[in-house]
Chains A and B, each alone.
Chain A
Amino acid sequence: MIIIGEKINGFIKKTMEAIEAKDEAYLKELAQKQTDCGAAYIDICAGTMPDVERQTMEWLIGLVQDTVDTPISLDSSDPQVIVDMMPLVKRPGLINSVSKEAGKTETVFPAIKGTDWKVVALTCDSEGIPDAAADKYKIGKQIIEEAAEYGIGLDRIFIDPCVTTLGTRQDCLVEFIGAMKLLRADYPDVQFTSGLSNISFGMPFRKAINMQFLSLAMYEGMDSAIIDPISPDMQAVMHAVDALMGKDEYCMNYLSAFREGKFGK
């Protein structure tokens, strides 16, 4: 499981407060803890007002790189901000994200052409987020083909099939998984990722839905997730699913994570 650690995001209240208070120690600890919990990428999203987004991003990139060697995931809705931040990042990381919304791939793909940077691609466009698997598939295919023109292969793309919310659409997971299957039929090596929390919006005991979403999506072949790796719930699901799917010989990873207190304390 390729974990994209989501904690350093200005849209998360506690992180936003730490950013505003310039609480370096807290933010560095987030980078360290997420790395300790297996994050392959540390996502950085400034999330504040646009006039200070760039300087906040720069500062956060510096803090994270002072603390850990974990690659960085640059997270902004403005593709130009992402591209401008790339030179500050010491080792190739992840772009979070592009979509078929105008200007996104056009800005990002030329910038990561010929590099080792990877990219998260959302299956949405200027019309919004499609509900149906076939529509998600269509956008995913467009992006994959466009990436290929820049020499960006499937090993560098994570498709996020944009899960919608269970409370308003009870077929949201079915369509999400349907999109994965359609894309995988055309591109056996395609990789998938997703955030977890949207799906449970408006429902009670969201944790149950988020955890089962993760396990079902992993079972269906999701390669990566944008999550809080420090959460014992997430640790428990990821390790249990790997073990149950026969990917953890003698359950060694599950057992050592348990001993390290990553879950079940």
Chain B
Amino acid sequence: MSSGPLLEQISLKVQSGYVKEVVELIRLGLDHGVDPQNILDDGLLRGLDELSVRFRNSEIFIAELLQASKALKVGLDVIRDRLSANSVSLHGKMIITTVEGDLHDIGKTLIKLTLECSGIEIKDLGVDTTPAKIVESVRIYNPDILALSALLTTTMENQRKTIEALKAAGLRDGVKVIVGGAPITERFCREIGADGYATCASDVVDLVKTLLTEK
């Protein structure tokens, strides 16, 4: 059978967040010999890509993106065993955290969820994370991008300190660093030598995709 219409259906059902239908369609595809990699790329991930464009255009809301993301995750579980190990890393790997001294969680979590919805594999170190712990996690996890959140004028300096710590550990060149949070400006981002900055969840998706292409 031609897999095109089926993959299109998977993409649409992911966008609607219909978990059960996504699973059924994937099983149907597998039964008919559709390549699991195609199911991932042209079904699941395409669905989320299209949805994240609509999120960027403010056509849909975070809750809808999360529902779709759940559909993607459940779908991925169905095909995970049949995919080669490295293709499951989706579009890229990231670490996200709020920096030391700062407990703000909401913006960071929203960014994390949004990026997950865009097919990024993302590790969340939580809040109030020391530069040393971030450096250690970068070393172990080897992400494409590190995202640092700071919501306080008193803690934004810890974004700089974290970047300095990465340099000292010789890890800075291997990872792109992006920063965000209410007090963060483009100027501050440049001043501390970060690779990018965004003001809202939808801009972060664009920023991350650009950085991943550059890599």
Contacts and interface: CB of A to CB of B under 8 A. Distances in A.
The answer to whether A and B interact is yes
Contact of A128 (B127, B154, B155): B127
A78 B102 CA distance: 11
B41 interface: no
Nearest to B98: A128
Given A11-B182, A53-B153, A77-B152, A165 B106 contact: yes
B153 A129 contact: no
A201 B110 contact: yes
B152 A128 contact: no
Contact of A77 (B106, B126, B154): B154
A168 B109 contact: yes
Contact of B62 (A48, A99, A202): A202
A167 interface: yes
A125 B105 CA distance: 11
Chain A interface size band reads: 20 to 34
A64 B129 CA distance: 37
B154 A78 contact: yes
Interface in A7-53: 11, 47-50, 53
Contact of A101 (B61, B63, B103, B126): B103
Q: Specify the main secondary structure of chain B where it touches its partner.
A: loop
A167 B63 contact: yes
A198 interface: yes
A247 B127 CA distance: 42
Nearest to A202: B62
A95 B127 CA distance: 23
Contact of A126 (B63, B103, B106, B201): B103
A167 B62 contact: yes
Nearest to B154: A50
A202 B154 contact: no
A168 B153 contact: no
A186 interface: no
Contacts of A125: 103
A129 B103 contact: yes
Nearest to A46: B153
Contacts of B128: 101, 126-128
B62 A168 contact: yes
B114 to A, nearest CB: 9
Contacts of A224: none
B103 A48 contact: no
Contacts of B153: 47-50, 53
Contacts of A170: 63
Interface string A106-141: 000000000000000000111111000000000000
A202 B63 contact: yes
A203 interface: yes
Contact of A124 (B62, B66, B103, B154): B103
22 contacts: A47-B153, A48-B153, A50-B154, A53-B153, A77-B152, A77-B154, A77-B155, A101-B103, A101-B128, A124-B103, A127-B128, A128-B103, A129-B105, A164-B106, A167-B66, A168-B63, A168-B66, A168-B110, A201-B106, A201-B110, A202-B62, A204-B61
Given A128-B105, A128-B126, 7 more contacts: A49-B153, A49-B183, A99-B103, A126-B128, A165-B106, A167-B66, A168-B113
